[in-house]
Amino acid sequence: MTRTEPAADGAADDPRIARLEAEASVLDDADPLRTHRDAFVGAETSLVYFDGNSLGRPLKATGERLAAFTRDEWGGRLIRGWDESWMQLPFEIGDAIGRGAIGAAGGQTIIGDSTTVLLYKLVRAAFDAAVAGDPARVEIVVDRDNFPTDRYLVEGIAAERGGRVRWIDVDVTSGVTPELLREAAGAQTAVVLLSHVAYRSGFLADAPALTRIAHEAGALIVWDLCHSAGSVPVEADAWDFDIAVGCTYKYLNGGPGSPAFAYVASRLQDRLVQPIQGWMGAADVFAMGPSYSPAAGMRRFLSGTPPIVGMLAMQDTLALIGSVGIEAIRAKSVALTDFAVRVADELLVPRGVAIASPREADARGGHVTLSHPAMRSVTARLWAQDVIPDYRDPGGLRIGLSPLSTSFAETLAGLRAVEAALPAEA
Ligand SMILES: Cc1ncc(COP(=O)(O)O)c(C=O)c1O
């Protein structure tokens, strides 16, 4: 099945399908970002990609960038590359993420390690700073439906530093609300760690309100921006964030395992001491001195040699975001997820599927989760046909709609494939 052909199942006679196809075609024609889809590898094939919220497609420009880097910079400049440009790359690309995707002025964002390692370093640094200010602040607040790495690492930090985890129970079809955080945060809170977009439900947290509540409780807040960076606008400075960390391999198309970014508000940088004290975060990297003294500013959050090759691909997406603007990307994302919800209501809800994501666009990020007990096997069936969503327990099929690389026709074709893959009795 291609994106535009009707399925060979008699659907051509089905007025619902004819109407939805007409609607997809109108939406694609009116989409101001539609031409950018062709800039991605594989856009010309019939494969339906619903997992750009997990691993974004590569841009065609990235192949040339990687080849040119190997030939000219790595191959041509060799070790001189470090002095000539690579040492600055974590800061330059960090600032580009700050500018284009997360509303951060320069000098507050870097590319570092994996999301997990950066979260560990910064949550621990924030915990230590809070306890140093007030020894009664021993709790880290996190929700039970946060991404596993976030939950696991706060348990480790609490054990390591003599703290406690304060869990927030949430509905898995939504996420942390201001009321829930108000109940959990107080004079005992050191750090709050929340995801801006919930990985399971796609719930979009009210980041400015939640940040205010954490600050009113006297705590620091760390935002996990993995599912928002490059898809949902973030205003780290205007919303008064303390710290944020996010993936670059999802909507920023950095490639498998590309390193994460970290934001630390300038007012906090010199108060935080992170635990992995390596030479690249030292005040004078090449002094090779007898003991560690942290660099001023963002360099102190680096540890070892920056993963330069892993930082190359995301630059192509950052250039694209710089040219179209994050607001236009969000508008397309909202239109795609609204369309997906409408199609799911027509084709899948009557077959026993539930929409396990917020229905209101302003409470939803870039993916929609469709729930049904058979979704694990449905996912396997779909992958075998080149329709690629992902699966998250319990029974959740995640439909990730990466705004720059996904069309409305592709969305409809994929959801029709989901309908066809549901068990007959469903
Ligand atoms: C919300 C969220 N947080 C953290 C992570 C962990 O990222 P990493 O595996 O790069 O450490 C992921 C990975 O998918 C994620 O989706």
Q: Is the pLDDT of residue 58 over 90?
A: yes
pLDDT tens for each residue of 216-233: 999 999 999 999 999 999
Residue 13: pLDDT band (50, 70, 90) is confident
Q: What is the pLDDT of residue 10?
A: 54
Q: Report the predicted TM-score, pTM, of the whole model to 2 decimal places.
A: 0.96
Q: What residues are paired with 62 via a beta bridge?
A: none
Whether the bond into 259 is cis, omega within 30 of 0: no
Going by pLDDT thresholds of 50, 70 and 90, the confidence category of residue 120 is very high
Whether 249 is catalytic is yes
Task: List the catalytic residue out of 91, 249, 301, 339.
Answer: 249
* pLDDT for 404: 98
Q: For residue 141, how far is its CA from the centre of ligand 1 (angstroms)? A: 18
The pLDDT mean for the chain works out to 96
pLDDT recorded at residue 12: 64
Distance from Cα 113 to the centre of ligand 1, integer Å: 12
Cα 256 to Cα 54, 66, 67, distances in angstroms: 9, 14, 17
Tell me, yes or no, if 398 is annotated catalytic: yes
CA of 249 to the centre of ligand 1 (A): 10
> Which of 51, 53, 116 most suits a substitution to test ligand 1, by most atoms within 8 Å of the C-beta?
116
121 as an active site residue: the answer is no
Atom of ligand 1 nearest to the CA of 250: 14
In the residue annotation, 250 being an active-site residue is answered as: yes
Q: Which CATH architecture has domain 11-59+325-421?
A: Alpha-Beta Complex (3.90)
Domain ranges within the chain, ordered by starting residue: 11-59+325-421, 64-312
For 266-318, what is each residue's pLDDT tens digit?
Answer: 999 999 999 999 999 999 999 999 999 999 999 999 999 999 999 999 999 99
| Per-residue model confidence as pLDDT tens digits over 18-55 | 999 999 999 999 999 999 999 999 999 999 999 999 99
What pLDDT, on a 0 to 100 scale, did the predictor assign at position 8? 47
Same fold, 11-59+325-421 and 64-312: no
Q: Does residue 426 or residue 233 have the better pLDDT? A: 233
Query: Nearest residue CA, atom 14 of ligand 1?
Result: 54
Q: Which residues line ligand 1 (CB under 6 A)?
A: 114-116, 147, 149-150, 195, 199, 224, 226-227, 247, 260
Whether pLDDT at 5 is above 60 = no
Q: At CA 249, angle to CA 246 and CA 252, rounded to 5?
A: 80
CATH 3.30.1310.10 holds for 64-312: no
